[in-house]
Structure 1
Amino acid sequence: MGLLEDKARARTFYRFLSTIYDRINPYVWTEAMRADALAELDFEAEDRVLDVGCGTGFGTAGLLDHVETVHALDQSAHQLEHAYEKFGRRGPVQFSRGDAERLPYAADSFDVVWSSGSIEYWPDPVAALEEFRRVTRPGGQVLVVGPNAPSSRVLRKLADAIMFFYDEREADRMFEAAGFEAIEHVTMGPSYRPNVAITTVARVPDE
């Protein structure tokens, strides 16, 4: 397990990172990447959408271009404070503080669940994906953006010592273990690192 795949350490990390997050994030997770990821989803304006690990709200803002309201959850109070400054505490975004592995929502609550830049900190990704499946209606979509594993064995070891990196094969394993179907992957990134991220889209089976 990587250094930041511990919830307490991750919260401490984001206590400091939250003060500069919006300045450094565009170098890794760009608006073009967000647009490409959003294009993988089928939206209706009235869809019920959840953003897990919303951080300061970069993904949330993109979701609001497609739907009227978004539920957004993060475990970091410091990240959420910056999100409140952008969207307000009450408005088109309904915020909650919570854990991806124990989502505070009823079964079948959402049409779409989105998570970008969060999976790398989850101690148990399959448990979180099972929660995503639980709160998403049958036939609904789930999208997760995470860090693509480096091809170099040395870089992979260094990366894994910090947080969770994975490839398409591992993504297939996790999503299948969590009970998803129609699993597809797209790699993306800024021009200088076009494969830095892996985006996985899957559906909850129709019952």
Structure 2
Amino acid sequence: MGVLENKARARTFYKYLSKVYDQINPFIWDERMRDEAIAMLDLSPDDRVLDVGCGTGFATEGLLEHVDTVYGLDQSPHQLSKAFEKFGKFGDVRYHLGDAERLPFKDNSFDAVWSSGSIEYWPNPVDALAECRRLTKPGGKVLIVGPDYPNSTVFQKMADAIMLFYDEEEADRMFTEAGFEEFEHHIQQSRPGSPRAITTIATVPE
């Protein structure tokens, strides 16, 4: 388990990262990648969407171009504070401080659950994926974006020491253990040589 796959350490990490997150994020996860992933959800304006690990609101902003209201959840009060500064006053985002492994919503609450740049910090990703599935209505979608496992042995060792990086085979295992049966993976990258993202979209059975 990587050093940041610990909730307390991750909160401390984001306490400081939140100050520069919006400047750093586009080098890894840019608007084009975000919008390509959102298109996979095929959203309607009245869909209820949850953004798990919403951070400072980068994905939330993109989701609001497609739906009327987004529910944002994050374990970092510092990240949520930044997000609230952007969107909280407009009433179309409802923020919750919480844990991805114990999501504070009823079963079948959402048409879609989205999470980008969060799974790598989850100590128990299968449990959190099962929570995402629990909250999603039958026929709804769950979309998760995480860091693809590096090809280089040196970078693999570095990745393993920091947080969760995973390949398609590992994603297959996690989603299957979380109860998903229908899912597919897409590799996204902002530019040649930049870190790759593995984007998985899963459908909850009718």
TM-score calculated relative to the size of structure 2? 0.97
Q: Distance in 2 between matches of 1:199 and 1:160?
A: 19
Tell me the residue number matched to 1:99: 99
In the alignment, does 2:178 pair up with 1:178?
Answer: yes
| Contact in 2 for aligned 1:150/1:156 (Cα 8 Å) | yes
State the 1:53 CA deviation. Answer: 0.1
The DSSP-based 3-state class of the residue aligned with 1:36 is helix
CA distance in 2, matches of 1:89, 1:53: 20
Contact 1:74–1:99 (Cα < 8 Å) also in 2: yes
Deviation sequence 1:49-72 (CA, Å, 0-9, x none): 000000000000010011000000
Are residue 87 (structure 1) and residue 109 (structure 2) matched? no
What is the Cα deviation at residue 195 of structure 1? Answer: 6.1
After superposition, what is the alpha-carbon deviation per residue over 1:54-104, rounded to whole angstroms, capped at 9, x for unaligned? 000000001001100000000000000000110025610000000000000
Give the superposition deviation at 1:153.
2.3
Classify the secondary structure of the residue corresponding to 2:19.
Answer: coil
Map 1:1-207; keep pairs closer than 5 Å: 1-89=1-89, 91-193=91-193, 196-206=196-206
Per-residue deviation at 1:159?
0.5
| Separation of aligned partners in 1, 2:171 and 2:193 | 20
C-alpha distance in 1 between matches for 2:176 and 2:70 = 26
RMSD over aligned CA atoms reads: 1.1
Counterpart Cα distance in 2 of 1:177 and 1:162: 24
Counterpart secondary structure, 1:68: coil
Q: Which segment drifts farther, 87-96 or 136-145?
A: 87-96
8 A Cα contact 2:110 2:136, kept in partner? yes
Q: CA deviation at 1:193?
A: 3.2
Q: Which moved more, 1:181-190 or 1:93-102?
A: 181-190
In the alignment, the residues of structure 1 paired with residue 95 and residue 43 of structure 2 have an alpha-carbon distance, to the nearest angstrom, of 21
Is the 8 Å Cα contact of residues 148 and 196 (structure 1) preserved in structure 2?
yes
8 A Cα contact 2:28 2:194, kept in partner: no
Rounded to whole Å, the distance in 2 between the matches of 1:15 and 1:152 is 30
1:52–1:114: 8 Å Cα contact kept in structure 2?
yes
Post-superposition offset of 1:192: 2.6
SS of the residue corresponding to residue 95 of structure 2 reads strand
| Residue identity opposite 1:107 in structure 2 | D
Gaps of 5+ in 2: none
Tell me, in whole angstroms, the C-alpha distance in 1 between the residues paired with 2:106 and 2:113.
Answer: 13
Give 3-state SS (helix, strand or coil) of 1:42's partner.
Answer: coil
The whole-number CA distance in structure 2 between the counterparts of 1:11 and 1:89 is 24
> Tell me, what secondary structure is at the counterpart of 1:141?
strand
Structure 1 CA distance for aligned equivalents of residues 193 and 147 of structure 2? 12
1:129 and 1:67 map into 2 onto residues whose CA distance is: 23
Aligned letter for 2:130? E
- Gaps in structure 1 of 5+ consecutive residues: none
